[in-house]
Chains A and B, each alone.
Chain A
Amino acid sequence: MRLGNRRKKLILLTVVMALIFIAIYAFGILIPEEEIAGSFLEARRPPSPSHPFGTDALGRDLLLRTFKGLSVSLTVGFAASAVSAVIAILVGIGAAAGARWVDGVMNWVIDLVMGVPHTILIILISFSAGRGLKGLLIGIAATHWCSLARLIRGEVLQLQSQPYIAVSRKLGKSSGWILVHHLLPHLLPQFFVGLILMLPHAILHEASISFLGFGLPPEQPAIGIILSESMGYLSAGLWWPALLPGLTLVLLVLLVDNLGEQLQKLLDPSSAQE
């Protein structure tokens, strides 16, 4: 009875959070570009009922810009996380199931990626790709897979020592068969949880890199760009372009983070107990 209730609550909470998440995303996507275009008559307005987040120096509504920016950040973050998670699962399985030297090489590569500060590496990749969306995506994807890959490697090593896998092997099943029938079903929840848990980091990195000017082009309403612009008006006392969009970003990251945790509890109950 207790078990059922707690699980039900957990599912309900997860669904509610997922719905909020989807609503934010949909809201951002559905905002038409022309809505954002502002007028100079409305420039530098502090928050008011008609502009809850105020307007920026060009008179654009910051609420709409922020949510548009968040949806852009989410898209970029999600795409980069997905690529990163796929890299992680390939590297993780390769390192655990392959020959010893493969494991050694993979570990060395992981050390390599961890050895360069990620911000620098993404700047470098972005520079190489001529800035913009492509470099940003590659950069974030290339830097976020390491810890998940290590996790999956450990999981595969542990699974391989399980008796039923040894039995399958004795029965003459090929490695590929074992991978598809035994390993992947176990790794799939890990993969999705890892993906969701990676998302907040990817979003934060996207915002940081855009803030530095290496990410999305300035005409995009990305959250990092809004904040970067706001820096110029800070000393003039324009607090709302810095405060409110950033706060919204933090809340979104917290939401995604929590969503990941709930999913982890649902898919992998053993990890829920500390």
Chain B
Amino acid sequence: MEQKKETLLEIHDLSISFRMYHQGLEQKELQVISDLYLTIYPGEIVAVAGSSGSGKSLLASAILGLLPGNATVHGHLHYQGQELTPERQRRLRGREIALVPQSVAYLDPLMKIGPQTDGHEKSRSPERRRQLFARFGLPEETEGLYPFQLSGGMARRVLVSTALLTDARLVIADEPTPGMSLDQALEALGMFREMADEGRAVILITHDIDLAFEFADRVAVFYGGTTVETAPASDFKKGPEALRHPYSKALWSALPQNGFHPIPGFQPYPGDLPEGCLFAPRCPLKTAECTAAVPPVQEIRGGEVRCYHGT
């Protein structure tokens, strides 16, 4: 693949922990992301899948440098080959890296949609926004409304518009589609596809896994705050035999159209993580080595997997 030449974003061994006050005055470190890796190339959409609590949304904050003050970050974040320092994050966010947030709560309740979508930089003309709103089927009056007057679907489209109006090379979309109708979701994802085809890149954090598979190039599966597998999206369409990690296979089987087979057990809680592989307690393939040490990342059939028994 020609993508391999230069990465847009590279994350490895990323760990995030929060300093919490336990029982009033006692301090405690709560590990929420451990040894996470993710690589994004220009021109691709990478879907990040995983159940809630797997650390998907934190990833966005970590890339943008917006973690709360009590968070500690370890590991490497590189953007266009250079380290992402807090100073660089400050310069890049909103310009090079754009975020599509999760819900209408991310809009200022007292600011009208029009100026709010345009953002604080004065250079932007409302014309482009109007065209974009029209493509999304947002009526013209939308720009004069306040956030609370928007329906769920309208709000999502406005949120997506904020990112599409920037010239960002990397868009991180945190659950952009729920609440939209299928047509609107397809339109939004189609626009992300267009962006990617122009050489930009999109990280699509999502629950709508099957929809994401259609538009994404690759899929990263998160579990308990770490990446267990990244694989070409096509592998997810083929079925569990094409996947490498037992959790990815289980995730596939849990989809409604694949029989809706849930896996027994729970994702580990931060602060109560098991030794070794985080999935081991629920894994059908568990052996002694799994609980002894965290498995290293290995390449199998064009994908990466963190498992001793990856196939």
Contact = CB atoms under 8 A, between A and B. Distances in A.
Any A–B CB pair closer than 8 Å? yes
B27 A269 contact: no
A6 B23 CA distance: 13
B26 interface: yes
Contacts of B25: 2-3, 6-7, 269
A267 to B, nearest CB: 13
A7 B24 CA distance: 11
Interface in A1-38: 2-3, 6-7
Nearest to B24: A269
Interface residues of B, number: 6
A270 B27 contact: no
A273 interface: yes
B26 A2 contact: yes
Nearest to A6: B25
A272 B21 CA distance: 13
A174 to B, nearest CB: 35
Interface residues of A, number: 8
Interface string B17-30: 00001011111000
Interface string A241-274: 0000000000000000000000000000110110
Nearest to A269: B24
B26 A3 contact: yes
B27 A273 contact: no
Contacts of A270: 24
Nearest to A1: B26
Contacts of A7: 25
A273 B27 CA distance: 13
B36 to A, nearest CB: 31
Among A3, A6, A269, A270, chain B packs the most CB atoms within 10 A around the CB of A3
B27 A2 contact: yes
Nearest to A5: B25
Contacts of A6: 25
A6 B25 CA distance: 8
Contacts of A273: 21, 24
Contacts of B26: 2-3
Among B21, B23, B25, B26, chain A packs the most CB atoms within 10 A around the CB of B25
A6 B27 CA distance: 13
Contacts of A2: 25-27
A130 to B, nearest CB: 51
A2 B25 CA distance: 8
Contacts of B24: 3, 269-270, 272-273
Interface string A65-95: 0000000000000000000000000000000
Contacts of B21: 273
A13 B305 CA distance: 57
Interface in B14-61: 21, 23-27
Contacts of A3: 23-26
A64 B222 CA distance: 74
A274 B218 CA distance: 44
A120 B26 CA distance: 49
A266 to B, nearest CB: 12
Nearest to B27: A2
A9 to B, nearest CB: 11
Nearest to A7: B25
Nearest to B26: A3
Contacts of A272: 24
A272 B27 CA distance: 16
Among B24, B26, B27, chain A packs the most CB atoms within 10 A around the CB of B24
Contacts of B27: 2
A191 B27 CA distance: 30
A269 B23 CA distance: 10
Across chains A and B, which 8 residue pairs bring their CB atoms closest together, nearest first?
Answer: A3-B25, A269-B24, A3-B26, A6-B25, A2-B26, A2-B25, A273-B21, A2-B27
Interface of A: 2-3, 6-7, 269-270, 272-273
15 contacts: A2-B25, A2-B26, A2-B27, A3-B23, A3-B24, A3-B25, A3-B26, A6-B25, A7-B25, A269-B24, A269-B25, A270-B24, A272-B24, A273-B21, A273-B24
Given A2-B25, A3-B26, A6-B25, 12 more contacts: A2-B26, A2-B27, A3-B23, A3-B24, A3-B25, A7-B25, A269-B24, A269-B25, A270-B24, A272-B24, A273-B21, A273-B24
